[in-house]
Amino acid sequence: MKLSRITVFLAAALLVSSYALASASPVKPPTATILPPPIQLPTPVPIPIITVTKTEPTVTIPKPPITIIPIPTVTIQPTTATFRKLHEVIIEVDPPYAGEVKPLGQGKHSMKEGKRIVLRAVPNAGYKFDHWTLDGHRKVYSRVLRLQVKKDHVIVAHFVKASSSTRSPPKIPTGSPSPARESSPAGCILPSDFPKSMAYSGMYADLLYNEDLLAGFGEGVAGKVIIGREAVRPQPWHSYGVEMGDLILRVNGTRYRASFGSEDYGIIYLKCEGGQLTIRVAGLTRYGTRAALLYLLNHPEVVNGKVLIVLEWKDSNSNRKVELEEVLPLVSVP
């Protein structure tokens, strides 16, 4: 029963409220507000901690490019020191105290192989120079002796008394009879202006080879010089025991052989006719011809007064050139 009364009361109250609401002013419904979507903030990124360290600045200097040059392979071969052999040169005077030899003097002298020596014979009062004897057989009649030491030598300077008769004709001793003349004819005297006053002629090849030596010759008012063995016909030195063949020279029976370009022999022959001088210059080869011409031009004092001079040339320095110091007198006829 109690529940019914409550229910009736509530229903009455609800009815009164509904009537009141119906009679009242209508109420506008609320306006809806659309809110923007919420802003999403980015996920925070942690900020790195920067540590500043003080450092010295580094300066970099560019380096030039390096070029690598290959080093050639050097092969060192064992060598042995070479020493020039010593030779003994004995100088004597015949007869003793008749003169002296300068600059070395009498006695034994030790000299290195290849050394060139120049000896001068100086007679004492009452004597005059006659000739040199080299190693007991070779005679040289020029007062000045030039020699290259290649072995032991014995050199003798021979003098004769000033009142003695003329010397015997020069010859190289051999086992065979010598065809040389028994007497020595008087030699020819060179003009004081030699070779300017002399002309020259000869074979073209000889003249061309000796062109430099012929520049000092002149017009030939005093005589002429004939150059080259082929240009001298006949060869007048035959009568003095001197013969020339193909690379062979014979002097009073002694035979000498030339070697082209390294060893040769030359001849200077002088003849006076009617106040004119004729000089014939010849060699076994062109080297011997040049040696004779070179000696004639540089030693007129030795050639002066001679009839015949036989010369020897050896290429001591192997340069295939004729040089004055390589030319030595072998034998001469005054």
* Residue 27: per-residue pLDDT: 52
More confident residue, 31 or 132: 132
**For the chain, domain boundaries:** 86-161, 182-334
Q: Is the pTM of this model over 0.75?
A: no
More confident residue, 251 or 82: 251
More confident residue, 147 or 286: 286
* Residue 173: per-residue pLDDT: 37
Q: Find the mean pLDDT for residues 140-162.
A: 87
Residue 145 pLDDT exceeds 70: yes
Tally of CB atoms within 10 A around 121: 23
Residue 53 pLDDT exceeds 80: no
More confident residue, 171 or 317: 317
Confidence of residue 270 (pLDDT cuts 50, 70, 90): very high
* Residue 69: per-residue pLDDT: 72
Class of 182-334 per CATH? alpha beta
**Do 86-161 and 182-334 have matching folds?**
no
* Residue 3: per-residue pLDDT: 52
Q: Does domain 86-161 match CATH 3.90.930? A: no
